[in-house]
Structure formats: C-alpha cells, structure tokens
Structure 1
C-alpha cells in the first residue's frame, strides 16, 4: 500500500515529494513482532505510528505504582543528592556523575535509565515497550513519587521513618518541593509521614515536617490539620510518641497544638495510653501542656481512671485529684473504676488504690455493672476478704446488695469456693441477717456451699446457729436433699468431703423437703445417671497403678527375707546356717513384719486381678477392689515396719540414738496417709459441737478416729505383741 506525503495547502508552488512507505497494522498482540522487526532496521525514513483503542476509565481499576527500588534506596539511606537527581531527570539536570556517586550511576544504568542512551538503544527500548504500550490508557503517565511501598507508604513516609540527620531532612525538603501533598498522604494503616516519624522517635524530623506544613500558604492552619489527622486506629502522631515513651516529642507536639490531647473524641486518648504504659512523666506533660483540657477516654468505654487503678497508687491519686467525676463513669460492661479496684489483691490498707477510689466516691459501692454485680460482689468473687471487710465498714448496708440473680456477696463467695470470706461472714455478728437470704433460685449460701462440695465452707455455715438447715429452694430441696447429689452411685471413697457433708447433716437432724422418699430416689438416680460401663472404666487406671505398687512391695519383702540383716552363722559353728541375730526381740518382730508385708501385698494383687475380671458383676469387682486397696495400704505399713526394724537390729548396739530416730521417723508416712481423714473429722468437730453438744461430738469423733487407726495399725500391734510373746517363751 502507498501513503501520500503531507502538502501545504497554503502554498500553490509547493514541491510534492513522494516516497515509498509501508503501513503495517497490529490489530492485536500477535502482530507485535512485525512492528519490532520493522523498528530493528534503524532506517531514518521509518515512521512508526501506534494507534491504541481508548479504554473506558470505569473498566480499569488503577493500582498503586510500586516504588522504584532506586527511589526507595535513596529515601531509606537519606542520600539527598541521588534523590534529587532521580526527581530532576529530564529537567536540565547535568550528567549523574557530577551530582551522584559512581555506584549510583551504575545502578541507574542497570535499572534501565532513559536519560543517557543513544538513538539505537532508544529504538530498541521502544520496540520492547510496544506490547505494553498497547495495553495502557491513552495519555497515562506515572511519576516516581506516585510509587508506594508494600505498606502503602510514599517516599516521604520512608524518609520520615528512617532518619533525622541533615541528609534525611534535605531529602524531605526535596520530596515536599516536588509533591507537597505527600505530607498529608496516608499509608494502608492510615499513618501520615508525621505518624511514622513520631513512632520512630525522630524528634528533628517531626519538627521539620511541622515546619514544612507551616510553610504551606493555603489559607488554613495546615499544622493543626496535620497534627489532628487520625490513622485507622483513631490515633494521632501524639499517640505514637506516647507509645514509645518519648517525652520530648510529646512536648513538641503539645506546644504546637495544646488541644491535641483531646483527640480522638471517642477512642483511646493519649492520657489513657500513657497511664496504661505507666509513663508517669508523659502523663504530667499531657496534663500540664493541655492546660487541663484533655480527653480521659479509653478503649471499650473505659476512662483513664480505669487504667490508673490497674497501674498503681500514685497514678490513681493524680487522676482523682484532676477529675473525681471519673469514679462514676462506666465502661461498656457497666464497670466503674471501683469495680476494677475491688478485684485487686490486698487493697484493705489505708491509702491503697481501692481505698482512694472509695474515699473519693463512696456512693460507687451502690453502682452495679451490666450483670447487676456491685463492687462487693467483685471482691467476694476473687476472694479478697480484706476488701469486703473495708466495704462493710464503710457502708454496712452494702452487705445486702443483690445482683441480677438475687445473690449477695455471700452467695458469690460460696459459689466461687472462697472459704475465707464465708468463714469471716459467719463469725461477724452484724452479718447474721444475710446468712439465710435466698437468691432467685431459692438457694441460701448453705445450699451453694454444699453444691460446691467445700467441707470448710459447709462447716463455717453449719457452725453458726443462725444458719437455717431446712429452708427449701424453688425446687423444694433442702440442704439435706442436695447433699446426696455429691455422692454418686458406684465407686466412691466414703472419706471424701461430700460423704462427710451428708453425714453431718444427718447427725444434726436436718430435714428433707416436701417430697416422698421414693420420688427423691427416682430423681437422684435420673440426675446422676448411673452408667455401668463408665464405672468399669474407673477400675482400669487404679488397678494398673496399684498392681505396680503392691508388686514392688512383694518383691522387696521377698528379697529381704532371704538376705537377713546380720547374715548367717558359718557352717562349722553350732546352729550353722541360721541367722546370727535370731532370738532377739527385734529379730522376731522383723520376721513377722516382713511376713505380713509379703502376704498382704500378695492378697492385694489377687484382689486387683479379680477386680479386673470382666465376667464378674460390677458389685463383686467393686468388693475386690476395695479389699485390694485396704490390703495394699496395710502391706505398705508393714513394709515400713520391716525397714525400721531391720535398721534397728543392725544399728542398735553401735548407734542406738540413730536407731531410735529411724524408728520414730518411719511411721510418719503412715500418719501422713491418715492426715486427711483426721483433719476432716477435726474440722467437723466444732460445728457438730455447736449443734449436738460437746459430749456427743467427742464420742462420735474419737470413736471414728480410733477405729481408723486400729484398721491401719493392727498389723503393727500384732507384730510387737507376738515378739513379746515369743521372747517370753525362752
């Protein structure tokens, strides 16, 4: 095809020149190679016309340009000369070697600079960019400063983050001169360059950025606008300075805008953040520099006093002096600062955090949270008996405050198993009137103590005669009706606290509710849901553990029986081959003790074997397990006796005192095993004495303790009685 040369219509005598030309049309990506081949001829007569169809802007989603590596490198290092060269290319800038380093020049060449190439290189580059050019919208241009980092930060964000030396300050000036709007641009987190500089602790850079904002003559206060910009967390640059604990930057920002501490209006204030981070000096700076006009707000509806009570006495004291109205403000859960203080440990002393908040506003004791919990309930739930006592001394009527479930602080303490608070309340004569208060379910503190299966709380309530034992809850259940639910059917140790609670209520003649006995038993069985398979599973773990224990006892006893202390007489002596210590009292006792230890451990192993025998019914297996537990425990007692007697025989004549000490120390293991049982009976003695009298209590408790000792130590008694009997025969 041919093309006509251009003519000038205004000149009649113009010479017309015709040249040979070719028109190649690339309708799509497939014809791009033809255009590249045409350009590669480097013919001066070759003219390239590229026509691209227009693309609707609505169909293309503009993506942020990735920042040039050279620009990012220059910004991070504060190399203002390199930065200036990059931004001034194409505007009469001299050769890069005159203003930038040779190394930077080499990098610039490696990254494909357009500023110093020849025509051939330009033609080749043009041919390489044809395909990309076909896909760009008409007239689109991209500036270096439009590029952003992965975090969405501009070159000014980078400079503000990485330094504050003269080079970085000059770099900031250069960038701002080219694109002043970047001072207010935010990254993906909503941070401006000022946020970045403050977070990095660059005080000189912060001051410099503020100076740049002040130099913009737009008719509005650009400094104030810059300082008050909030990021996606609703934090200003002041928050960043507070977070890193830089008081100098805090002062600088507050000098520029004394109202800055009042931002944000409904989020975490700088003061709240400073208190939470325990930055005492910054707290003072914010308060003084703001002329006492600052925000006290915090996260989740809290205020600065909520944070102060969690951080220390001094901060709390300051906040109360500055603004005592903070004591009545509630967070999103309805908690006041006194609720927070009530949950702290050891706050009953004068001058403590809780004491200060209470003194500032004693009416806060009667302010509940969203669940109806008052500060006294909070203190009871964490077991702070001293704080509860302080509240009661300040306002005795607060003892009767009930939450949305109708619970007093005594109910809460019983549910949470806070023994000290329940015990203290039962000893306080002024609190007798709350002992029998019922909650919305009709439960008293005694009901809840039994449900919590706490013997100590139960004894404290039972020991106070003002505690009614026969009050029914909404289900018609008295404390006696509730107590069996802690004693499940099947395998259960009768020495557990639940069994002791039920026994004590029975002894003091507590009454059941208004239900028939058979109905009660049906309900008991239905609620506890006795599962035979589950009960059999309970046997597996203890059976395996006990088997190992009794096997070790049997093995050790068998070994020591044939390796007697003192050895054997030589064969040439009279009674050769017999034990050398035979005939002594201790030797006879040693032999009987080792015999009992071995026999009882073997009996325990047999019992354990049958308890795991699946063809036996569960009741029979339970009997075997109980017998095995008893024999195993008693064999351990005999084994200790064997150990003590063996050492006594060897040491008695050469180290008599040491031998006696060994005999005294050895029974401690058995006493330790019985200690829990004895302590429980001792704990029950006081309330039983109050309810049924001293004489009956002494007889009952003493009888059971003596019986348990007899069942544990009868082999020891037999051992020494037999040794005494045999020694008298010779």
Structure 2
C-alpha cells in the first residue's frame, strides 16, 4: 500500500510530507518501502521530499534524506530541486540557520551539496533564487518566480492547499506608504491619550488645600485601570514615533538586535501600535464606566465595550479563516 497512488499520483508518503505528519509516520512508510520516496505526482512530478520542502518542513526533509539520501537527485517537471523549494521558503536544513546565508547550516548529505549549482526553471540556481526573491531590485526573474509561487499556492494535497509563501521583500514605495500610515496613527493615539491624561474622567479637586488638583475618582478601581492603560497606549505610540524618527538609534546602536532592516522595524512598529490600540480601547471602556457609574444602564454598556471589542476581533479572524477555506476549495 505504500506505493499505491490516488488519481493525482499521490502516495501515502506524499500526504505525510505535505501535511507535516509526525516524523514517525514518514519513517514507518519509508521503512516499509523506501522506493516510495522516488515517486513523483502527476501534475508537477514532485516527490514527497520536494513536497515537504515546498511546505517548509525542514525536519521532514531531514528524516526522508536520512533514510533515502539519493532521492534528493530527483527534480520536478520544470527542473526544480530540493534546494530550490527550500530557497522559496528560506527553510532551515537540516536544523539551524538557513543554508543560503553566510555561515548557515552545514549540509550533511553529500549528494545534496551538488544541487546548489543546478539550474532549474528560468535558468536559476537555488542560491540565485534565494537572493533574487530577497533583493530590493526588481527584475524579470523575480517576477517569474513570484508568479510561479502564486501558481504553487493553488495546488492541493488531500484538500489541503500549499502554505502561503511569506516573502520578506517589500517595495520601497510600499514601505513608505506603511510608514506614513503608522506615523498618523501613532500621532493620533499619542495626542488622544495625552489629552485624556490631562482631562481625566470625573474632573479634579479645585478647592485650595493639599488635595487640590487630585482626581475625584482616584480611589476607584476602574479609574486606576484607566490611568494605567492610557499611559501604556501613550508609551507604545510614542515609542513607535521614536523608532521611525531614529531617536533610539544612537542609544541602541551598540545592541545587535537593533541593527535590523527597515522591514523589521516596520513590523515592530505595527506590533507597538496594535498594543497601543488595545490599551486605548481598555482606557476608553474603564474611563466611560467610572464616569457613568451613577447610571446603572449606561455603566453596563460601557462595561461591555471591552468584551465586545475582543468578540469582534475574534469574529473577524474566524471569518478570515472561513473565507480562506472556502476559497481554497
């Protein structure tokens, strides 16, 4: 049964490699019949090893090669080999850092080393494919490879689509547009939270004395939550502005983690603004609650703002995955 094929030419080992099954499943199938590792499917001529690499499953690739090292010599119908697909994913092989980076993981299987210089589709080697996809310069081979990856994402095995290829290359124009959007959002959040910190809910003591300027609701638990979350939203948004304006570059330039790409910083700012938005929402909810508490009905409404936000957020994520499943089917 290990070599039995379905209508698409997929064997059980193809399924195990594509779905990322437990390594024990892959090992058991190959121990029963190692020749299953050499079988290509009907559409693209992909072996189980190539399917595992296409999905980015480095450990599965290592397991297949440990039991059948020669199967790496098989290529698909357009000449792509194991390392081409690992270049598309920037995969780890066998374990550790990427083989395509200087000082990357050592290739322990001798026959795999020969694949690095073999040309496949578009006359491009695995190393060239890796460098091309991650280059800031646009050229025709980069476009051809991206079109191929979009085509690969439409493939399915056992009704499970190929995982989305997350390519780090983003155009300068796109990064600039994202940066401008982030600056606007960060500035708005910083402005709103700064104003909220000065004009606190419930007002301040105006009579002269030791308590002058003290918030009336300072002992309320909801008010304390408002102050903390409002401060967090302000800190996150200002931190995002500091990153983009380079204020932290001088202070943190000695640390290795800070010497990152523009894309990395853009993603970091996205995370900060996400936290700032959540903190601002909680501050709004608790601030409304502490002011409207005398009115029982309005207090309940303000209290439900926070749970409603997270419900809508989870509902949006759920809808995204439902649409993704329907689309792939």
TM-score bin (small chain): 0.3 to 0.5
Higher RCO, Cα 8 Å, sep 6+ = 2
Larger radius of gyration: 1
